[in-house]
Amino acid sequence: MKLNVEKLAIINYPDPRLRQVAEPIEAITPLVQQVVKRMLELMVEADGVGLAAPQVGLSWRLFVSNPRGEAAKDMVFINPRLSDRSGLIDSDEGCLSIPHVNGVIRRAGEVTITATNLEGREFKLTGTELLARIWQHETDHLDGKLIIDRFSEADKLKARRSLKQLEADYKKSRPKAKAK
């Protein structure tokens, strides 16, 4: 696969790549390591706490997160699986791929994640509150789901104008089809 990692950027709704179910990563190659490094840079630049590979246009089951913003706390999750969800918490949530759109989403307050790290070792962690929310949000991206799919009707109405603007911006950014 020929990929210019430095050109990776966060893509915005309604880019169809955000709706694809991501493919498992078969091997941790130097390319995967370079992509992870770039994704961490993009997440920090965007002032985010998590970023999934589909958000940079890659259909890979991979996300990075860092709820505290300290480089030593960067985490990489390859082929993650969630389990043991418990408790429900409603909280306001946004997304780097859907700028200026927020809504209240109900998610498990505690969740266990099993994933592979960059060294190829499987690990298992249990997270609560913000950590649990990040893992669930990013895993949704790997399954082609967006926060707007989980919005209440009121939040969908509130977001409508911003979503229409993102759709118009996306349409303008696409190359025009040539008439025959």
Q: Could you write out the DSSP letters of every residue in the chain?
A: ----GGG-----TT-GGGGSPPBPP----HHHHHHHHHHHHHHHHTT-SEEEGGGGT--BSEEEE-SS--GGG-EEEEEEEEEEEEEEEEEEEE-TTSTT-EEEEEEEEEEEEEEE-TTS-EEEEEEEHHHHHHHHHHHHHHTT--GGGG--HHHHHHHHHHHHHHHHHHHHHSPPPPP-
Task: Give catalytic residue positions.
Answer: 138
